[in-house]
Amino acid sequence: MVYRLRQLIGLHINASDGAIGKVKDVYFDDHSWTIRYLVLATETFLSDRQVLISPVSVTSIDWDNKVVQVKLTVQQVKDSPSIDTDKPVSRQHEADYFDHYGYPYYWTDPAIWIKATYPMTPGKSDAVAHNATGPRGESPLDSRLQSAAEVTGYRLLTSAESIGHVEDFLLDSVTWAIRYLIVDTRNWLPGKHVVIPPGWIKQVDWDDDAVHVAVSPDSVKGAPEFDSGTEFSRAYESSLYKHYQRDPYWQ
């Protein structure tokens, strides 16, 4: 199952012993395009401080009552390392955060979530020093986190021309991976929305607010239209990959 990111924004977060805030934004890593943190506004008890919540701690999402339940206590959240979400989150900050909760470091393994494709139940991590390099050789202090709120609005470009802008994201409800970017092409194809998987991205120009994708303008013009009012089914996904003549991710 996939759902729109905007459905997650604004949901209440409940710890085991009380409410702790609302979802304000999410951070994803720009290698696997997986949500690593929910950014919370916690003005009710932390003097307007913003904190991060890992999907590892999420036990359920009640869409009807707009509540995300996490297996944390209010005190654990209060005692969590302070992180300035207006600045890039360093790998050292992440290490401090994961140490606080006793979670294994996700960046030390090539799998999305430490030898798995979904957030694992917290457990004792292998002995990994804070200065350990990641599985792709990145510096221990380099983080690959990006704000979804910041990327929303980025232009989508093919090699030839602009095809629209990022309007939203579709998230996998099990893995927390970003499965698709929802692209608004109304300034190019009146009234049409399409979806593009992150795997088709060639480059993201963070300075120029642009996403370069490896698809042609003509293929986008003929792509199956995304309709947020209908169920996002496997049949739609199959037609999408067939249109672009690409192998689907589930194979």
- Tens-place pLDDT, residues 126-157: 434 444 454 444 454 456 899 999 999 999 99
**For the whole model, what pTM was predicted?**
0.87
For position 167, what pLDDT does the model report? 96
Q: What is the dihedral of CA 132, 137, 140, 144, to 10 degrees?
A: -140
Is residue 189 scored above 60 in pLDDT?
yes
| Residue owning tokens 């013009």 | 221
pLDDT tens figures, 41-75? 876 666 666 789 999 999 999 999 999 999 999 99
| pLDDT (0 to 100) of residue 113 | 81
Ranges of beta strands (E only) in the chain are 2-4, 12-15, 18-29, 34-41, 50-53, 58-62, 67-70, 145-147, 155-157, 162-172, 178-184, 193-196, 201-205, 210-213
From CA 247, how far away is CA 87, in angstroms rounded? Answer: 38
SS3 176: coil
- Binned at pLDDT 50, 70 and 90, residue 250 comes out as confident
Q: What is the mean pLDDT of residues 167-186?
A: 94
Residues 25-42: pLDDT tens digits? 999 999 899 999 999 987
The string of pLDDT tens digits covering residues 109-133 is 777 886 666 686 544 444 344 444 5
Domains of the chain: 2-146 (2.30.30.240), 152-244 (2.30.30.240)
